[in-house]
Amino acid sequence: MERMPGFLQALEDKKNTLGTTHAPDFLGLNQWNSLWQSSNEGQGVIIGIADSGIRHTHVSFKDDGTMPDPPMKWRGCCQYVTPNCDPWSPSKCNNKLIGARAVGSIGSPDDETGHGTHVASTAGGSRVYNAGVLGQARGVAVGMAPRAHLAMYKICTANKDHEDECTDRDILGGIDQAINDGVDVLSLSIDTPKDYIQDTVIKSTFAGVEKRILASACAGNGGMFPSRLANDVPWILTVGASSMDRVVKATVKLGEIVKNDFNKACKSAALNFFNLKGKIVVCETWVTNDIAKSEAVKKHGGAAMILLSQSWDGFTTFSEAHVIPTAHLNHVDSLKVVSYFRTEANPTATIIFGGTKEGVRRSPAVGSFSSRGPSLQNGGILKPDIIGPGVDILAAWNKQVGPDPSGSDDSAFNFAHGCSMATPMLAGIIALLKSTHTDWSPAMIKSAIMTTAHTTDRTGHPIADEKSNTYDKASFFAMGAGHVDPTRANDPGLVYNTTLENYFGYLCSLKQLSDFSIGIITRRRAFHCADYVKIEPEQLNYPSISVSMNNALVKKITRTVINVGQSNSVYKVEVDDPEGVSLKVDPESLTFSQMYEEKSFTVTFNAKIPHPFKGEYSEGQLMWKSNGLKEYHISNLNILLML
């Protein structure tokens, strides 16, 4: 095989996992004075989604007659129209869903689990009025970029447990196909951290950057483990998940009416040994998925379920379409239930349902499950990049849900959670930005999203980490640059750009990669680092700074910005020093006379003696502020320091 033309690498084909009625409003998107208006809701942009397929007849993907034809560059196909896709004869399902195809030997692009349908409608689904789940959270379900075109590439199939599995060959094939078909944005809810040489997402998305395609990809759902980050290379927008202020509320009153029974895992086989008829059954999260627990309890005669959270779940709870009445408690409240069971000989309880409530949860906050840094592979670049809504997201589903499913599956909706839900949110926002800034590079769009993110919640307090059980302030390792603000991202003032040559130099600086390995990642059979200037990770022109002092007294970092705000503008710097160093920025002001003018600045880190927090991390921030005649800009750069 090595002697075949174009051959780069042979790998074992492994299996991988897949990691909005309220979300647009929560993100400040409306039809009057937001990014929706200035971007025409993403019209003309193609979002490519590699996932579990799609229910193509769902109302979220219908063409209402106002959608324009796909761009002339579209070379993809709709397998429902042309089963044997021909690259010389592009086809479409309609002007909303312009592509739907299964990769490799999968067969049909039909969605077996609902995941891909949910993701696609979150990114760019059309407006559906009076959408809800079991009567809750009713409103207008709409994607982030409702006038963007969608193209689905089915790369995953359901296993015996009805969970999605995606092989490496299908991931690579699906993303490559999307790039060849002419998509503008990629949404990749794939959550499997790997060595860079083995990682098909990293290799295929690098090919996308060469075509000016930015990938929004899942940081992972491994928040209970340290440094379990996926998709952490600098050319990917790595997305973590946050919670919103909406909940479907249920209150548990202990000591009333219905007798309880306690079983941790609530596996169906284990419940055979209990008489559960008419009882509220107390189960714990983990081991099996939560819906399977309620199905098992119902099968064995249980009347309802109280779901207790593990310590690592913290304050994150989920609204889900259970088959019996269920209350999901955060960990602090779960401990109260456990204590009650230990002290009460005949425990009883009542569940009181309060319906859909907004403004009742501190938000945004980092979901406890969202994967955290630091990255163990990328040389120290701060990841994730951004967080976006990923808890209790209401979007399209492949079939009706709940205890007594009824109605057409073409109008089914469901709640879902995970970085899989936050990822298409950001993909849709990228589509909006590409619609308004057609000349921006993928790195410039990513920079705009990161440098305009906010680090405070709706109450003005620092964004909290729900994993902490005490609402501690979220670290940069949990939230990256902060929470996405789509409308601010449309007008960032300054952006940081990174070129392909920069990425080559960066890869050459990573000690674990040889020339041959980099050639595999970049798909260049004869790659030689000697042909490029090495760029240490901390010197890559990235919209954050992550520095390790390594006993040095002084370290200098350089960044270059591009003016995308007013032609004549002056930016002045403000600095919040990380503990353990003092920062000096040179120059302290940047003067621009025209659009797209570039200016560089140097940040000098001066260590304090002795190091007060040697071996620990500290956080700071650098802000460029401009108070122009027409516009006011703040460009934030998060700084992470290891002493």
C-alpha pair distances (Å), 322 with each of 22, 307, 327, 404, 512: 21, 11, 10, 10, 46
Torsion over CA: 89, 94, 98, 100 (sign): negative
Say which residue the tokens 């410039």 belong to: 444
Tell me the sheet residues that pair with 153. Answer: 50, 101
Query: What's the DSSP call for residue 476?
Result: H
CB 312 within 8 A of CB 221: no
Q: How far out from the chain centre does Cα 490 lie?
A: 19
Query: What's the DSSP call for residue 378?
Result: S
Question: What are the strands, taking DSSP E only, across 447-516?
Answer: 464-465, 472-473, 494-495
3-state SS record for 522-583: HCCCCCCHHHCCCCCHHHCCCCEEEEECCCCCEEEEEEEEEECCCCCEEEEEEEECCCCEEE
HSE value, Cβ hemisphere, 13 Å, CA-based, for 306: 31
Structure-block tokens of residue 347: 């425990």
CB 426 within 8 A of CB 449: yes
Say which residue the tokens 């992550």 belong to: 546
Phi then psi for residue 154, to 5 deg, are -80, 110
Q: Are strands 236-243 and 149-154 parallel, antiparallel or unpaired?
A: unpaired
Round to whole Å and give the CA distance between 365 and 1: 50
Query: What's the DSSP call for residue 383?
Result: -
Q: How far out from the chain centre does Cα 334 lie?
A: 28
Catalytic residue positions, numbered = 51, 115, 420
CB 91 within 8 A of CB 111: no
CB 324 within 8 A of CB 278: no
CB 581 within 8 A of CB 606: yes
- Find, among 56, 210, 37, 152, the residue nearest to 427 by Cα: 152
Round to whole Å and give the CA distance between 267 and 295: 10
CB 421 within 8 A of CB 143: no
